[in-house]
Amino acid sequence: MHREETQLNSGVLVPTVSMRSGEAVKPLFPFLDLKAQFQGIRSEVLAAMEAVMESQHFILGPEVEKLERAIENFVAADFAVSCGSGSDALLLTLMALGVDRGDEVITTPFTFGATAGSIVRVGARPVFVDIDPETFNIDPDALAKAVTAKTKAIMPVHLFGLVADMDSVASVANECGAAVVEDAAQALGATFKETPAGTLGDAGCFSFFPSKNLGGAGDGGLITTNRGDLATRLKALRVHGAVQKYRYEVLGINSRLDALQAAILSIKLPHLMSWTDRRRQNARHYRRLFQQHDLLKLVQLPVEPVGRGHVYNQFSIRVKERDALRRYLTDRGVPTEIYYPSPLHLQPAYAFLGHHQGDFPHAEAACGEVLSLPIYPELLPEQIETVVSGIAAFYGSGIEEVR
């Protein structure tokens, strides 16, 4: 029997143990180790938390404003509006843009549930289009063909930390008059032709979930925009639609970033680019090892097109024998993850859209073939070598049996 679900406990993301012949196999190292990150900034984080506790100012306020200004500078955006989660960032942005019942929003089915969920929550219809099988991002040709008179917005997802083809997205959006909402939850610090993710459309939506490259100690989110009208509306929508205390101009929701989270994120943000550099170093080490082990004909590595700065929230390979390979690695203590095991158009929650197997073949194939490997900044070279050696051993010893 195999149990391969994952859990985030005590700052360590690890697969639950694999069971073979009644023996538990513990991971040799975690898939994500936030404890290691914390040790390097422990005193700063605890001091920032203590300052918030002394102030007793927990909701919005100076710490939140400080973080918002810092993110504005980091991504070169005119405005940054924080909120309760990355999911809320998407929802609030669609609300601020006036997306409503009868509207359509084009996006990808190969993504986390919040992407399309935010569209449905405002009463609009998610229009899925297939992905580019190499980048895993929205296919520009499919996007252009999906536009209708009801298209109100386009929501590209910068999956795994690689920005989508935003020239193509912008071209389609300009032609049909649609807004562009970047789902940049995994892409803080990523760039497209040297322009930061989050400033390539009408708004960029970020998540501070603990496993993100810039993660808090709980949920948190933020929207960047260069549109003053949008920022003003977002600030009202996140506090029930109030422009001043007890005066509600629009119907909003409660989605405010905690000061404690903002304080922690403000400590982490100056470290983000050095952490990103280490992720990129780890990615380069993976590439060297896959080449040395002569695996490039069997394993598709992440692509990084010219002009796009990948931040590697995930290092996701693609293999035909994904499930067998994952079992093999798990039984040898090598942690991996699957993002995502099923495309949204085949999920029960989206059955009302009437999609079927085969509607988006590239997304469906990716869900059966993509496997994410550890890539966090503190990952050691010898741990990367353990991962790739395990993959090489799988293909060297049992490939004919598992196909």
- What CATH number did the domain enclosing 71 receive? 3.40.640.10
* End residue of a domain, out of 268, 303, 332: 268
Question: What digits encode the pLDDT tens for the residues 91-133?
Answer: 999 999 999 999 999 999 999 999 999 999 999 999 999 999 9
Same domain, 143 and 285: no
Cα distance between residue 247 and residue 263, in whole Å: 29
Residue 340 preceded by cis peptide, ω within 30: yes
Predicted confidence band at 24 (pLDDT cuts at 50, 70, 90)? confident
pLDDT band at 244 (very low <50, low <70, confident <90, very high): confident
| 209 found inside a domain | yes
Over residues 261-315, the pLDDT tens digits come to 999 999 999 999 999 999 999 999 999 999 999 999 999 999 999 999 999 999 9
Going by C-beta distance under 8 Å and a sequence separation of 6 or more, which residues neighbour residue 190? 158, 161, 162, 163, 184, 196, 197, 308, 309, 310, 311
In this prediction, residue 284 carries a pLDDT of 98
Domain count, the chain: 2
User: Residues 24, 143: one domain?
Assistant: no
The residue count of the chain comes to: 403
**What is residue 25's predicted lDDT score, i.e. its pLDDT?**
85
Give residue 104's identity as a one-letter amino acid code.
Answer: E
Are 131 and 259 members of one domain? yes
Q: In whole angstroms, what is the distance from residue 3 CA to residue 195 CA? A: 42
Residue 337 has pLDDT above 70, yes or no: yes
pLDDT for residue 401: 36
Same domain for 187 and 306? no
Pull the structure tokens for residue 54. Answer: 């002394």
Helix (H) or strand (E) holding 330: helix 322-330
% pLDDT > 70, the chain: 93
Please tell me the distance from the alpha carbon of residue 317 to that of residue 304, in angstroms, as a whole number: 13
Helices (H), ranges, 217-299: 228-237, 259-268, 272-292
Percent of the chain with pLDDT over 90: 91
- The reported pLDDT for the residue numbered 400 is 40
Q: What's the whole-number mean pLDDT along residues 316-345?
A: 97
Answer whether residue 367 is part of any domain. Answer: yes
Cβ atoms of 129 and 105 within 8 Å: the answer is no
Q: What are phi and psi of 386, to 5 degrees?
A: -65, -40
**pLDDT attached to residue 341:** 97
Q: In what side-by-side order are the strands of the sheet with 79-83?
A: 79-83, 221-225, 203-207, 179-183, 151-154, 104-107, 125-128
CA distances from 181 to 8, 42, 137, 153, 258 (A): 29, 35, 14, 7, 24
- Same domain, residue pair 284 and 384: yes
**Residue 1 reports pLDDT greater than 80:** no
> Is 1 part of any domain?
no
Q: What is the reported pLDDT for 12?
A: 56
Domain end call among 214, 240, 268? 268
Q: What is the pLDDT of residues 135-190, one digit of tens each?
A: 999 999 999 999 999 999 999 999 999 999 999 999 999 999 999 999 999 999 99
Q: Are residues 315 and 230 in the same domain?
A: no
Same domain, yes or no, for 79 and 212? yes
165 and 77, same structural domain? yes
Domain of 89? 39-268
Would residue 152 count as lying in a domain? yes
pLDDT of residue 372: 98
- Please tell me the pTM assigned to this model: 0.92
pLDDT in tens, 54-99: 999 999 999 999 999 999 999 999 999 999 999 999 999 999 999 9
Q: Which residue has the tokens 């070169």?
A: 76
Task: Clarify whether residues 288 and 376 are in a common domain.
Answer: yes
Q: What's residue 95's pLDDT? A: 98
